[in-house]
Chains A and B, each alone.
Chain A
């Protein structure tokens, strides 16, 4: 029994090790201006993952990452709802109820996008959008990216918005191919 505990624990630790850095990178920006502690947000996502781990561990890494991201986003939205109702002094059960993410519900199409497909899409962006998005993904702030390109900060915001729009369009075919191959099944 002790071995079983240790094995499960080690697997779950490895699961946290694989996903925590990227989840935390997203959470840190999301919570950069107050609200929640990003570490708390990530921790709560893993707390939610634990009872589901029997099912999650059989999923591909992109699928597990998509599930964790949806769970974390829902926790953040729950927090925003709570804060809003508290600020108004109006407890509202429907609004403050925790959102749970069913494992049966597809996490949109994101779980079908592999790292390779994402890299390929990035390569097809216009050069200035691609370079700006890369810097952003590496954790640079708008100001630093603006200085890198010697453009106004507002331009960086526009470039990133365009990069994301184009990325979503470029990723659609790879999602369609993955669906065709029956990855969902």
Chain B
């Protein structure tokens, strides 16, 4: 053990100066105790980030967020580094190759769609329903928007045009849906290719229009295609609740809770418990 070993926690927390950090990085490969300590502490930090990482994760959410991966080859996707290309040519199964660009789309997420498009600047979310677009699906406590909040009103058209140009039609629809413009949202979703995500978002439109049966049919179709689709499970819970099928609604929310998504999981669990309570009273 030497002086560097005492700095492990400071290093992991990014609290060392540049020179000290470099010295620690040089020390690490020579010190099995620090290597083990680093592995252990990072696992603990990962748990903490998953369980408590509010602000840090919000900061991440506020950063240029991942856009949905386009289905066509994307010219913005960066090429694999040569070593990686060689490795993956050899080992990636064919079906999984389709996923590769997803990693790079996340890494290279277009930074030019400002958060205001998806109301990311709001402290609460205005929709109780969940949309499939990742930028519109960051958990915040549900609280109906007040009319005075400016970004609810203002829909920036330029970024919207950019979204449309890159055929991110669910993104455009999400921006409209978040502002309660159901007709525009539906029009863009009609142009989207069939998918569980599209069915989910159309179901949100139907739910908003109080077409509960139609919403349920759309969500059931989405869940037949993807049984663990988080947004569809959530919205199905909402529709069943509206239909007074409280026990089945609670089941749906419990399935969401089990997915372990930050924020959503806790809210789903609470709602499931609340509905179970109501169901218990009603059935007495």
Q: Name A residues whose Cβ lies closer than 8 Å to a Cβ of B.
A: 4-10, 12-14, 16-18, 20-26, 28-35, 39, 43, 46-47, 50-51, 53-54, 61-62, 65-66, 68-70, 72-73, 77, 80-81, 83-84, 87, 95, 107-108, 110, 113, 115, 118-119, 122, 133-134, 136-142, 157, 160-161, 164, 167-168
Contact = CB atoms under 8 A, between A and B. Distances in A.
Contact of B69 (A9, A118, A137): A9
A68 B49 CA distance: 13
B14 A28 contact: yes
Contacts of A47: 84, 88, 103
Given A29-B45, A65-B50, A77 B35 contact: yes
A137 B96 contact: no
B167 to A, nearest CB: 15
Contacts of B91: 51
Query: Lowest 3 A-B CB distances belong to which pairs?
Result: A32-B14, A139-B56, A33-B21
Contacts of B107: 39, 43
A138 B55 contact: yes
B38 interface: yes
Given A20-B106, A21-B57, A122-B52, 17 more contacts: A6-B71, A7-B225, A8-B98, A13-B106, A26-B49, A29-B13, A33-B18, A50-B100, A61-B260, A66-B46, A72-B42, A80-B25, A110-B43, A110-B44, A115-B51, A118-B47, A119-B51
Contacts of B41: 164
A34 B18 contact: yes
B25 A83 contact: yes
A69 B46 contact: yes
Interface residues of B, number: 73
A12 B93 CA distance: 14
B96 A8 contact: yes
Interface in B75-117: 84, 88, 91-93, 95-96, 98-100, 102-104, 106-107
B9 A84 contact: no
Contact of A73 (B38, B61, B102): B38
B13 A142 contact: yes
Contact of A137 (B25, B28, B43, B48): B48
Interface of B: 9-18, 20-22, 25-26, 28-30, 35, 38-57, 59-61, 66, 68-69, 71, 84, 88, 91-93, 95-96, 98-100, 102-104, 106-107, 134, 195-197, 225-226, 230, 259-262, 265
Contacts of A113: 47
A25 B56 contact: yes
Given A73-B38, A77-B29, A83-B26, A12 B56 contact: no
Given A16-B103, A80-B29, A24 B95 contact: no
Contact of B39 (A21, A65, A70): A70
Given A16-B106, A34-B22, A160-B13, A9 B98 contact: yes
A110 B103 contact: no
Contacts of A141: 14-15
Which residue, A10, A107, A133, has most C-beta atoms of chain B within 10 A? Answer: A10
A2 to B, nearest CB: 9
Which residue, B59, B104, B107, has most C-beta atoms of chain A within 10 A? Answer: B107
Contacts of B52: 119, 122, 134, 137-138
Given A160-B9, A164-B44, A22 B88 contact: no
28 contacts: A4-B95, A6-B71, A7-B226, A12-B96, A12-B99, A13-B99, A16-B66, A16-B103, A20-B66, A25-B60, A33-B17, A33-B18, A34-B21, A43-B104, A50-B88, A51-B91, A69-B46, A72-B42, A80-B28, A87-B26, A108-B39, A110-B43, A119-B52, A136-B48, A137-B51, A157-B9, A157-B10, A168-B40
